[in-house]
Structure 1
Amino acid sequence: MRIISFDEKSGELVLKVEDEDDLWLLHNIIEKDDEVYAKTTREINLGNESVRKSMYIGIKVDKVEFQPFTNRIRIHGTIIYHPEKYEEYGFLGSHHTINVKTSDEIKIKKDKWQKYIIKQIEKSCGKSERILIISIDDEEVAAGVLRSYGLEIIFEMQLKIPGKREAEVREEKIDKELREISNKIMEIINRRGIKILVISGISYMREKLTERILEDLKVLKEKPKIISEDTSNGGIRGLHETIKRESIIKALKKIKMIEDTKIIGEYLQMLIRKPSIAIYGINDVYNASKIGIIKTLLISNRKLKTYDEERKKIEEIIENVEKYGGEIRIISDESEAGKELNSIGGIAAILRYNMSNSFKQEYKSV
């Protein structure tokens, strides 16, 4: 993401979308009744025919749609601005959808920009490292690209390798399978500009695959950094096991999804060992926010986009956490961390200290 301009007084922020992760962030920060301006196309009737014209349009937002691992978001709303030359077509008040993709420029206008949103945008500025994880065992292999909002599965394969009694045939088959897998990996590295390659799985297959990939990488001028990690599973299960490993969390600690995995893991441990400072549920989190003891607020993007009777409470929680200097973390529904958070209601908090029973009793009826 790149900030082109920001006028806090008018509430106007102009952004340049630079990669797919930026689209996920836009999906979270654009809310109902915001104004969005961007280049788009609109159909115009010209007598017996209709043509689609490119133009700069502004809409008042109704909803935002994001399809994970695609290259666009769809912003639905009603037209509030269009170029004067199209006035005769009566566009104002009509429904329109703006599609935003990477490399597009977009202007967002809000009545008020909350601090945590600006912090997220600033954090997303700059180039992000593209990371590919591959996990293998005797039976299966899978590869996925690490996004800020989840793991995009690129491919998975079942391996048909003979048993150890057929040693010679087994080694030939392993070599053939690994060549095919390595070819796929090389294609992904070249096409996606992968900077870090994590290879995980059971020792023997992981080591053999690493050797094969290192040999194939010799032809590349810019080689990705390779991290090797031993896991008990390969395939999809192995991928999810890999991103929870402490060594991987340390190595990739600046990657949002890894940060989210770490903090949700820590929160769940606190829930068992120190339940007095780990709370969940809209009411308990709301009460804790009012007395300023939330250190870290954890909220899923599904919960953040809620527009029901809980909306006002969520807005107050965020305002209170900002007011008292707490951290706000939006956890993607597409990640394992997000699924775990949604299983307990989509909102939780780590407290600075125990919310005493007297405080709980005082705010019980809120």
Structure 2
Amino acid sequence: VKGSHHTLSIAPGQEITIIREGGIPRAFIEKVLRSLRSYRVVVAALDFDEYAVALVQNQGVRLLDEGSLSIPFDERFFPRAKERGIRRVAERMVDAVKRFEADAVVVASPGFLKDEVADALKGLLPSTPIYTDTVANGGYAGVRELLRRDVVRKLLQDLGVARAERVLEEFNLLLLRKPGKVAYGVDQVEQAAEASAVEKLLVLDEMLSSFDDTRARVEKVMQQVFSKRGEVIIVPVNSPPGQQLKMLGGIAAVLRYELFHEDNAVEDSFMG
């Protein structure tokens, strides 16, 4: 019954199926999952003996490449062998970034090698954030050491939050300069979505876990934005942009064009 609460007796290990009235379109679920996409980070750990390159996502780690470097300490061969090794690792990382559309890279080593690889990457990946860290070993052991520190996990979280922060900065700027190009609160955003005006939509994660009519309205807005190829960003409530979004009613949008008058009324031409 709508608006009612029920108590169920469920034993551990028992499987249950909950069917929502009206159902949830599969395409909508897939699009929501894509909006929650896992950010990807390519990591490499190297020393004078070996290297490993891996792809890290929220779902886990995938080893992409590993091998021997065997950089000799003999000063006659060291400079050229080191240069070859650095170039090899950098090229493997660039290939991985392009193949998996990675959002950032992390290079780790016991000494200065990480800095030289990072310098090589700056020219090859000018628009990709590059981070360095120190590990005791190269190879996959170094990758595992890096992951145990939670440095990469925090980076993955920060990448998602950073995207929300950038859109909120754009929202705040437009709110001051062109207030007709933004919408916030369920009522306003709903009107903008119906007018196919939403370019970027920010939704607080807790808006999708409620059990009232608001959730259904928000889901409908998301479907409308998806159908018009708009961007949907789910923002965690326990993040700085999440707290700001909560003060805006839990949902806000950057619009494709000015839709609202200063009195927040929708332009007549878009309502009929």
Give the TM-score normalised by structure 2.
Answer: 0.48
**Comparing both chains, which one has the higher relative contact order based on Cα–Cα distances under 8 Å and sequence gaps of 6 or more?**
2
Kindly indicate which of the two structures has a greater share of residues assigned to helix.
2
Kindly indicate which of the two structures has a greater share of residues assigned to strand.
1
